[in-house]
Chain A
Amino acid sequence: MKAAGVLIAVALALALQTTLARLVVGGSAAIDLVLVAVVAVALTTGPVSGMLAGSVAGLIQDSLSTGVLGIGGLSKSVIGFLAGAISQQFILTSALPRFVMFVGATLAHAALFMGLNVALGLRTFPSPWKAVASQALGNAVVGMIAFAIMEALPGVIERRRAGRRPRG
């Protein structure tokens, strides 16, 4: 059940990234919805699920892109694990710590992803700061919205069910 939820979250993020993101801001979308999903999974389910979600999501993302297979997978696995581990050590239930978590995860992911690419001589990233900073902010905002929806959804369903119950 937990694995299915993780897979659905990753698949939904990938579908949104490749379809809706293109329609809203086109191919130049700076938000990494897949990374947002991996961090959200890690924060809610722990380091192992986060790592597995990162691994699967990153590998799929790699195979859909033009880069080397495994670099995105490895980067997202590490971030998934770290995010999950931090969520078990600290209380991350309020908005600000979560926002900081998403920003930090995006920065760490960018450092890992770009570092691996540069170290392996695959591509260079001249002055990436602006792009990384805007992605970190974008991911954090989307992450907060995703958490707000995730937390509001069970209550909405419960209220609807309660409303349907016959009175008397």
Chain B
Amino acid sequence: MGVIVGHILLIAAQVNTRRGVPLLEEFTFGTFAEIQRAATSAIAAVRDNWVNYVALQDVRAENARLKEEVAALRIGLQQERALAQQSRVLQDLLDLKSAVTLSTVAASVIAGGASPEFRTITIDKGTDGGVFADMAVLAPSGVVGRVVMPTSRASKVQLLIDRDAAAGAIVERSRAQGVVVGTGTDRFRLDHVPGAADIQVGDRVVTSGIEGIYPKGFLIGQIESIERQSGEFTGVVVRPAVEFSALETVLVVLTPTASEAQ
């Protein structure tokens, strides 16, 4: 019996589905995604009840504070609109207007990684929702990762902090280029920065789009520390913009990247 099961597992591991994923992986991932979906729904129901009915203390004070915050944000928004209008005019003048508008789909995180050695999450959108492998996943605060294994109703997303993850990056202030690499911890490493590049602690690091997965200009994080030895950068640590431990909803970029479009 064990031998038969072993053989079936081995064959399933080698046979790919139409989506290019090993049958065994698709089966186990698809099955567990459904279990995770159910578990997440149950936990969300309990949490919603708690949040909506039990933990309503200090709501009045919070409401007043939020009203003040909204008023301040409205003023800020008007200023941003004015600035945007100015930059639009300038873009038109320079004929640099980007034709890219991102099409995205929102997805809920239904599970974390099954193994602490791999930084992955499972989202509740798959190929039925137009999600395919190598699509970028973003959060309002910045870049989250990329889709590595979509099934019909769920997808596995490799977080950018995973050891095997990387993204082309640019330092926003100086336009210095590099590669942001996951370390398996809650920090990134910025590699391949030229020794002559102008980078400082606190600089914002954004995607360069050079790898053809992540759209250009999205925030990855801020430089936290810089180490130099004999004129070369030996250790540039970047603090992620995204709080990976608090991800609940993400956006999957459906728009083909520049490399795919070509």
Contact = CB atoms under 8 A, between A and B. Distances in A.
A29 B245 CA distance: 8
Given A63-B29, A123-B163, A22 B118 contact: no
Contact of A67 (B109, B117, B121): B117
Interface residues of B, number: 44
Contacts of B13: 69-70
A22 B40 CA distance: 10
* Residue among A27, A59, A64, A123 with most chain B CB within 10 A: A27
Contacts of B25: 63, 69
A19 B36 contact: yes
Interface residues of A, number: 37
A28 B119 contact: yes
A14 B115 CA distance: 9
22 contacts: A14-B32, A17-B112, A18-B111, A19-B111, A22-B111, A26-B112, A28-B244, A28-B245, A29-B116, A32-B116, A34-B115, A59-B9, A59-B28, A60-B32, A63-B24, A63-B29, A64-B29, A66-B156, A67-B117, A69-B13, A124-B163, A131-B184
Contacts of B149: 66
The secondary structure that dominates the A interface is helix
A69 B13 CA distance: 8
A22 B120 contact: no
Given A64-B115, A69-B13, A18 B122 contact: yes
A133 interface: no
Interface string B114-134: 111111111000000000000
Contacts of A17: 112-115
Contacts of B241: none
A145 interface: no
A131 B185 contact: yes
Contacts of A153: none
B258 to A, nearest CB: 25
Interface of A: 14-15, 17-23, 25-32, 34, 59-67, 69-70, 72, 113, 123-126, 131, 135
Contact of B164 (A14, A63, A66): A66
A62 B162 CA distance: 15
Contact of A66 (B32, B39, B118, B245): B118
A64 B119 contact: no
Contacts of B243: 26
Contact of A30 (B116, B121, B161): B116
B240 to A, nearest CB: 10
A30 B118 CA distance: 11
Contacts of B161: 27-28
A27 B112 contact: yes
A65 B113 contact: yes
